[in-house]
Structure 1
């Protein structure tokens, strides 16, 4: 294994639920709740919190916010069961395209972030998010009953495994710091907020995936942007985001206390491997052209 610092962004991992259901792999040797925030909505918004985690600044500074038209439409509207589909659709809407700014609303921040010396996958506000967008389409399909819950669950587990496997592979490559955002618990929390036995099953499956990742890497940080209200936690609005975000790590010592503190905490622990060498290809160029590689 390597010194790679691995960051698993586990969307909507609710600290109270993780403890209630004894998810031992999510509860690493050092864990706690962590303060999150609401900006455009009455509850934390995935689209806005993840860039804050990576950059260390709030949405007004990193520039990735919900468009004012969407914000006004939803302000005060607490029952956000459809947020799981609306945000991914926002990224693909004709008015707002990834890598572009419309009316001052960025879909990607231009600021430096904690993965500048490493790599990052499917992270809202930093990268394109094909997995998250695809999952939004699945959420619409299961809501409209054109996809079964069984396939919805299966597809999400496959995407979660893809993100977690990506982290393992990048760690084996010796990348100084890597991060991936995995969205499964958010959509499942919206779907199963009133069916805790089904949600608990998903938490256990994700816990097993994270246990596998823990076996592959030496240094791991798990962080969530928010939690999820459920009947299991006697919340008033099941299926709506909660403020019970969490942080969990293999590292010793103090933990970051809020979303703006995570970047500095991570960067203080990353070991920079120096400049990377350019790659030389040993195979004959003509052979590679014949194969269609070039």
Structure 2
């Protein structure tokens, strides 16, 4: 029995060795990559579906049409805005030129009247001031209720705050009552322009916005015919019909301490060597130091 088992095991080993040799000699070769010539590649591309016939989702087409319409509308709006801005600039330059001619004519008229009065031996008395610039000099310490309320009405809530005020009998009386705490006078055109250009801030929805563009002024005062900063300066300097709206659209001016400081006796009247009270035309010099 043991000899028969040995012969069977030997025959099985020979059969397995024969199968392994046959498998190693008869392997299936790997397919080689085929290189297509140009004619066959063109034939295969011609058999594919052209891009024009590929179905595109309707939502994508709608989005494309919407984007194209929006882009065209933006381009058209930009072109119209450039045209409007160009036309508005011409209007602004024309107005500024007219204002300069008006100011020069007024100065020449003043000189002529003074010369005529000198020739005839009379005295020339200039017209009364129409606008005052008021600056607060004192804080809230030891301030009576009545002056405190007047300063609130004038929008002078902090030290070195300044506002333009129309000269009337009521405003003169109010300024006289708070004269120990303020300095005021009649500013010239140069001082008004310097204030608006350097320290001008607009009041937009209760916020303090710097005047960096004429569009800000037009947005607030366009309905009154004030579309640029020169219109605003002219309205304040000449006390036009929309003076109240123009000054209310401006935030109270926040000024610095004057160059060189105040006088030694700050809270004594100006005519006595201090800084408070009516300065008349000399307020322009103080404005140049405060700005």
TM-score by length of 2: 0.21
Flag the structure with larger Rg.
2
Q: Which has the higher contact order (CA 8 A, sep 6+)?
A: 1
TM-score by length of 1: 0.21
